[in-house]
Amino acid sequence: MRKNLLIANWKMNKSYEDLGVFVKGLDESGFLKQNKIDIAIAPSFPFLEKMGSLLKNTSVRLGAQNAHWETKGAFTGEVSFSMLKEFGVEYVILGHSERRQYFKESDQDVAKKAKACIENKLKAVVCVGESLEERKNKQTISVIERQVNAVIAELPSCEHLVIAYEPVWAIGTGISATVSQAQEVHFWIRTLLAKKFYKEGSDSVRILYGGSMNAANCKDLIQEEDIDGGLVGGASLEAKSFSEMLKNLG
Ligand code: PGA
């Protein structure tokens, strides 16, 4: 019922020249035009226009990694959702743990971003996840609950909402959550969604896993009932490794 979704989170990586090489690689492996799985690529802001034109007339969608909740005004260095829309962006990653950690984004900031994103009819990919210390202290569920509830409190419906469960200790470390650790949290997220949006709403929301997802572990993760795809960093940077994942999911 829920179509799997794989999003490439390029973070602050790649150059202008790399874009064409990547898209050519995806084309050669047959993933530019297919409809088995939804795919999006989220490059850095300066590359959105070029990536958008390379992806024109393909089934791969354009993503961005952040935006401000205001539409316009005196917010030096910020970018609004309506600006992203002008460049054909469809998915926006929000509240990534790196933004929470290095840029001090609070749950309330992330909630305001998600609300503005969805008001602009863009898909909000809201990231949540516990640190290693929080997991060790058995606070995983309470952290996830706090982060998810802050966002859904602001939303009248869950249309256009995607959640990404990304345990902070699994991001970029090569240590993925186990299938059962991930499924347990995904199930809990869906239960939280159902409290506000009822079963019908919660059944429609895609919950992605992120944190050292790669070609070797993606299939087992995605086979779980409540895991509907992935938010992929390292393994999404080269067309070869990203295509390898897509092949294993297909
Ligand atoms: P990773 O990053 O796949 O390199 O662990 C995932 C993410 O931060 O979204």
**Torsion sign (Cα): 222, 225, 231, 234:** negative
Say what the pLDDT of residue 193 is. Answer: 98
Cα 181 to ligand 1 centroid, rounded to whole Å: 17
Say what the pLDDT of residue 162 is. Answer: 98
Say what the pLDDT of residue 16 is. Answer: 98
Alpha carbon nearest to ligand 1 atom 2, residue: 233
Alpha carbon nearest to ligand 1 atom 7, residue: 233
User: Rounded CA gap, 122 and 61, in Å?
Assistant: 12
Residue of 96, 105, 134, 186 marked active site: 96
**DSSP secondary structure of 16-39:** HHHHHHHHHHHHHTT-SS--SSEE
Say what the pLDDT of residue 127 is. Answer: 99
Say whether 160 is catalytic.
Answer: no
Name residues contacting ligand 1 (CB within 6 A).
Answer: 9, 166, 171-172, 210-213, 231-235
Q: Three-state DSSP class for 241?
A: helix
Q: Are 164 and 208 in contact (CB under 8 A)?
A: yes
Quote the DSSP letter at residue 2: P
Percent of residues, the chain, with pLDDT higher than 90: 99
DSSP-based helix, strand, coil % in the chain, nearest 5: 45, 15, 35
Give me the residues of the chain with pLDDT under 70, please: none
Q: Are 8 and 232 in contact (CB under 8 A)?
A: yes
Cα 232 to ligand 1 centroid, rounded to whole Å: 5
